[in-house]
Amino acid sequence: MGGALMQLPKSLQPWREWLHGFRPAQLPLLADLLGRIHPILGPLRGLHQGGVPEPDGLGDLQRRGPYERLLASEWLLADALPEEFMRRAVTGEHLFLAPHYRAHQASRWIVVLFDAGPLQWGAPRLVQVALLILLARRAREAGAQLRWGILQSAPHLHELQSASELKLLLEARTYQPVSEAHWQCWHTWLSEKAYDSGERWVVGQRLPALGPRACTHRVLVQPSIDSRRLIFALEGATPRHLELPAPNERQALELIRGEFEQAAPARVSTPRGQIPRVALTLAPIIAPSGLHIALKLLDEPGLLVIKLPAPRQKKPLDIRRVHWSERGTPLAITFPGRSPGAVMSLDGLLTFWNMPHLKALPLPGREQLQMPPGTAALLPVVWLHNGTYGRVFLHDTQGRLAFWVIDNGKLPNPQRAGVTHMMAADVVGMAQVELHTLAYLRHHGGRLYLYRVTPWITTAEGEMIGTAKSVEQVLFAASAGWNKALRGCAWMHSVDGAQHWQLIAPNLKAEQVELAPRWRAIGLLIDEQECFTLVLVSPDQQTVARYDHGAQEVLFTTLSPIARISFCPLNGLICALTKTRELIVYSIKNDRQVLQVLCNHVPPALEGPADATR
């Protein structure tokens, strides 16, 4: 199992040692603070060669020097050839012995003292955390040792080895502001402990007056007058000033409380290296229940099924494999129940693997359904069953919607089983939006019509909800009430590489959202106040974010690019599979990471270079 460290972006790699354990959603806030503060810290002080040099034997020969260090051979020349001796003296050709000097080595310490009083509560504590991480790396690069303490406490210095030790800083709170007595106590103690050389940092707001020899760096951290920014003022040899944006309140509160590992899935154990390799050609399949996911196996004909762990689960991960015939090719995959099922092409037949009460039939021709086998994307499919009636719906690559009847023999179905039923053409998108409801959108004559479908009934006439010249993608927001009315959807067309989305609320009120170039949306959510959230993927395929209320917020990042990603509107799960076969499952509704595992175990018979393109 991996932690947040496995998915650090390149911008955070220099500080990876101290960021291990932070939740992925918290990393962007820290990345912003680290990236802004680091450039203004200035060069290292107090760690260079210093003091009065002391002679330490002879070092080299040189053309200049006092004549008491003139080479003996040069004095012999003065006796034998005095004119040549004088000529060399005038032209600077004499050779002198040069002594070797040993310089004093300055103390390799960086000591930082923090104000833990009420003026530093809240967002300023995050700046203190970021500064401590920066100074830890500063010390590591210089071969120095970092120590830190609290100004209002009795003198005692702490080390910093990992993120867990940052909690000590956050837990150190006092109602006392920093006084002159606090500083004098520390100053005396540091001098006695030989910490009085090297770098000494003092960080707070209303700090006592300190002489130039008392500390090398004095940092003032305070909110701006309007409380929308944080002022970071560095007083030293070269004063510097920086304004930091106020952090996101939710993420800031989690960090201030020390909730670094609140939703980390590392408690779930799994046999190391025993999760088999999965293919990167097909996206993860998410069960509507939100309890299971399936991935196509790379080295075997079938699927890897993972039961998602419960929060704080400690028992091993429930992983199993299900196989189909080697001659079969999956066209569409879904979860009829706890196990996945597939619509497959097998020996010229259209078969329904692991889909009970569905009969195989001759594979429809391309003029009826366009279902090219072996493509890098599965066709959208929805299983609807209410215990009595049921149908399986499939959307082909030419915009045609078809279905097959589930015949369990309980009641006669008005529609015939064992044949392909054509429902609609010009369909631009469909999705399961409720337990027993499917919605699809038709684009016909420049107008968009919405239809709702249940296991046994299809709305006779669609509802016209908008107009569009072209539609490249459709997203549906799942929620209760879809069986009666529209509950929210969106459609997209691109302009110069940027996605333009039209969001339609339940009251048919439209909202337009234009994404930054090369960002793409993969999911749509709607809350109780009927406000939309778009799930986005970054251009570099390493960041998953949410967009709502006009703002964008990072959910998680990955160390390697995402090869395939899925989103289920019914449960709000995001499943990202990276090019290194790292699987990340994130619940946007619960705002937590559910699972993070590597699916890269190679069977002994197939050991060799892994093909990342498969």
**How confident is the model at residue 102, as a pLDDT?**
53
Hey, is 226 helix, strand or coil?
coil
Closest to 433 (Cα-Cα) out of 571, 250, 271, 587: 571
Confidence of residue 59 (pLDDT cuts 50, 70, 90): low
**Side-chain-side CA neighbours of residue 510 (13 Å):** 10
**Which pLDDT score, from 0 to 100, does residue 212 have?**
57
User: What gap in Å lies between CA 300 and CA 321, rounded to an integer?
Assistant: 9
Mean pLDDT, all residues of the chain: 83
Q: 91 — phi, psi (to 5°)?
A: -90, 0
Segment 558-585, tens digit of pLDDT:
878 999 999 999 999 999 999 999 999 9
- In this predicted structure, the answer to whether residue 267 has a pLDDT above a threshold of 50 is no
Q: What pTM did the predictor assign?
A: 0.61
Per-residue confidence band for 139, with pLDDT thresholds at 50, 70 and 90: confident
C-alpha span between 290 and 577 (Å, rounded): 17
**pLDDT at residue 292, as a whole number:** 96
| pLDDT-derived band at 534, boundaries 50, 70, 90 | very high
- Checking if the pLDDT of 45 tops 90, the result is no
91, 97, 99, 476 from 64: Cα distances, Å: 11, 9, 12, 85
Instruction: Report which of 306, 300, 348, 349 is spatially closest to residue 324, judged by C-alpha positions.
Output: 300
192-211: pLDDT as tens digits: 876 666 788 899 988 887 76
Range with lowest mean pLDDT among 43-52, 174-183, 394-403, 601-610: 43-52
Question: Does position 169 have pLDDT exceeding 90, yes or no?
Answer: no
DSSP letter string, 63-121: S---GGGB-HHHHHHHHH-HHHHHHHHHHT---EEEEEEEEEEPP-EEEEEE--SGGG-
- 73, 198, 59, 177: which is closest to 120 by C-alpha? 177
pLDDT tens for 462-515 read 899 999 999 999 999 999 989 888 999 999 999 998 999 999 999 888 999 999
Structure tokens at 475: 């997203």
Q: Is 573:587 a contact under the CB 8 Å cutoff?
A: yes
The pLDDT of residue 261: 53
Q: Which residue has the tokens 């999760």?
A: 275
User: At residue 610, does pLDDT exceed 70?
Assistant: no
Tell me what pLDDT residue 335 has. Answer: 96
Q: Are 120 and 205 in contact (CB under 8 A)?
A: yes
The residue that leads in pLDDT, 77 or 521, is: 521
C-beta pairs of 569-573 under 8 Å, 24+ apart in sequence: 569/431, 569/433, 569/475, 569/476, 569/477, 569/478, 569/523, 569/524, 569/525, 570/288, 570/290, 570/432, 570/433, 570/434, 570/478, 571/286, 571/288, 571/289, 571/290, 572/290, 572/525, 573/286, 573/290, 573/293
The predicted-structure confidence for 299-349, as pLDDT tens digits, reads as follows 899 999 999 998 878 788 899 999 999 999 999 999 999 999 999 999 889
pLDDT of residue 34: 86
Could you tell me what percent of the chain has a pLDDT over 70? 84
Section 38-58 average pLDDT:
61
CA atoms within 13 A on the CB side of 444: 15
Residue 260 has pLDDT above 50, yes or no: yes
Structure-token pair, residue 402: 């078809």
Predicted pLDDT at 250: 64
Mean pLDDT score, 279-294: 95
**Residue 269: pLDDT over 90:** no
Domain range annotation of the chain: 4-35+107-256
Burial class (CB in 10 A: 0-12, 13-18, 19+), 611: exposed
- 413-448 pLDDT, tens digit per residue, is 678 888 999 999 999 999 999 999 999 999 999 999
